[in-house]
């Protein structure tokens, strides 16, 4: 059984593939990345970020949780 990868790892700052993180290489990776961005965007909207009290803590909880979940998924679905 072959393992299908969703992401590839960036090579680092000193290469032509600048940066750290993951790049989607399949449609599952693109969907996961899109959902990550959508969840954070909706977190901004529903927390009422610039207008309500305590909205910054609600936004950061959403942001940190989504980053952790996305990182775990990307770690297990990345080409070595």
Neighbouring CB atoms inside 10 A of 17's CB total 12
Unique residue bearing structure tokens 């909880």: 61
What is residue 23's predicted lDDT score, i.e. its pLDDT? Answer: 80
Nearby residues of 59 by Cβ (< 8 Å), 6 or more positions away: 43, 44, 47, 49
Nearby residues of 33 by Cβ (< 8 Å), 6 or more positions away: 24, 70
Q: Which two tokens stand for residue 20?
A: 């750290």
Q: What is the pTM of this model?
A: 0.76
Residue-wise pLDDT for 24-53, tens only, equals 888 888 999 999 999 988 888 877 766 666
What are residue 28's phi and psi, to 5 degrees?
A: -65, -40
Per domain, the residue ranges of the chain are 26-79
Instruction: Please report, rounded to a whole number, the percentage of residues in the chain having pLDDT higher than 70.
Output: 79
């Amino acid at each position: 059984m072959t393992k299908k990868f969703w992401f590839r790892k960036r090579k680092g700052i000193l290469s032509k593939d600048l940066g750290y993180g993951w790049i989607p290489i399949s449609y599952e990776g693109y969907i996961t990345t899109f959902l990550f961005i959508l969840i954070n965007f909706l977190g901004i909207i529903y927390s009422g970020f610039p207008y309500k009290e305590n909205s910054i803590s609600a936004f950061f909880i959403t942001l940190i949780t989504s980053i952790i979940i996305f990182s775990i998924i990307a770690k297990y679905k990345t080409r070595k």
